Amino acid sequence: MVMPTLEQRVRILVHYAWDLRDEGSDDAMIIKQIIDEGVPPDIANAVPGLIDDEIPKLIHDDAARQSVIRQVTTAIESENFDGLREAMLDGIDDERTLHKMYCVLEELLLSDSHEKGTVAAYGLSFLHGRGDWPLIQALSHEDENVRFRAAFALGKMGKAAQNSMDSLKEALNDPDEYVRSAATHALAVIQKEMKPWWKFW
């Protein structure tokens, strides 16, 4: 089973705890809850401080953050690739907004609408360092359309998706020819971008 990187796991945990704080939990309650859910105590005790470290860096208030998320959702619902890219550029410099965008994209990646899901996958391909994880998971989804859009988006990420290479190699044996083709293309792009420039001579 492919696991998210340590950095991704910490980020997911911090934002999960941040959501609990936004819902009214104090730090003691947050620490207790995440310990009860299996997080080691030394890590759990550090989480509130990690949240506090991020707060001064935020540039959006709640209204601005919600506005960006609405734009992202609208762009996906209208299957507007350019609109999604523009909306994401408005939110990418704020860690909390970035996480909220990630959650929307992760959810809509699995949309029953192949077109909307593909736009969401395209959005995840911009999130280097975090967007690859839901795409890697989606490579094993039961729906071939979801697997295809995941492979397609990992190819868009290039070498930023190098953690997906083992999963993409498995996808070369996918029963769906379009998934196999997308995985083949994604691997070629990733491997090319990982190759040192002098190797092209």
Residue 48, CB half-sphere, CA atoms under 13 Å: how many? Answer: 13
What's the whole-model pTM score?
0.86
Cβ neighbourhood burial of 201 (10 Å; 0-12, 13-18, 19+) = exposed
Q: Is the model's pLDDT at 198 over the cut of 80?
A: no
**Separation between Cα atoms, residue 119 and residue 108, nearest integer Å:** 9
Q: Is the model's pLDDT at 197 over the cut of 70?
A: no
How much is the pLDDT for 128?
84
How much is the pLDDT for 1?
57
**Separation between Cα atoms, residue 123 and residue 76, nearest integer Å:** 9
pLDDT in tens, 35-73: 999 999 999 999 999 999 999 999 999 999 999 999 999
| CATH code, 62-195 | 1.25.10.10
Domain boundaries, the chain: 6-40, 62-195
pLDDT in tens, 112-145: 999 999 999 999 999 987 889 999 999 999 999 9
Q: Is the model's pLDDT at 199 over the cut of 60?
A: no
Q: Under a CB-based contact definition with an 8 Å cutoff, are residues 183 and 152 in contact? A: no
